Amino acid sequence: MKTCAFIAGSTGSEPLSESFLKKQLALLYTDFGVEKILSGVHRGDELYCLEKLLEIRGICPNLRICAVFIHEEEAASWCERDREKLFRLVSACDEEWILRPFFGSEMLFQRNILMMNEADLVFLLKEDEETEFWASKMRKPVLKIAGNPRRLIPDIHLYRDGKTSIRC
């Protein structure tokens, strides 16, 4: 069973297209053989992707989804509506990982390293040089959304250690 880590990345403000994202998620399952996804639960892109992952489960019957929290109180400062959405989505997941009982410095970095360590490949939702650097050090392929997000179908590139990108 192949595992993929979904990590938001740090730059870029364009929202991900729902139809594009659903298509890529289905391709991960059918073409790449991914049957388990570790999804961060940060507000924004990660939570949006978790929601879309849960929506496509019908066409990916063996897909297991794991929600990965940085710490127990991750959503404590969120508004009630966002917290309810998070808990509704997490309750639909197969697993839930909580890295630490409390927040500390470098927790997001540690969570990303843990997710990459457990995964066979990394799906990077936005640009993040640090995550790409550490993924290459761990010899993990990185699928990332690149190009102009306003195009109908942005490119996904597979980056491998020391090689040029391969279009998927």
- Dist CA 142 CA 17 (whole Å): 20
Domain over 2-106+121-167 is classified CATH 3.40.50.450: yes
Q: What is the pLDDT of residue 73?
A: 81
Predicted confidence at residue 102, as pLDDT, reads 64
Contacts (Cβ under 8 Å, ≥6 apart) of 30:
60
pLDDT of residue 28: 84
- Asked if 24 and 58 touch (Cβ cutoff 8 Å), the reply is no
**Residue found by looking up tokens 């073409």 in the block:** 31
In this prediction, the residues of the chain whose per-residue pLDDT falls under 50 are 147-148, 150-155, 160, 163-168
d(CA 12, CA 63): 28
Q: What is the pTM of this model?
A: 0.79
Report the sign of the C-alpha dihedral through residues 78, 82, 88, 89, in that order.
negative
pLDDT at site 15: 63
The pLDDT, as a whole number, for residue 11 is 54
In this prediction, residue 48 carries a pLDDT of 85
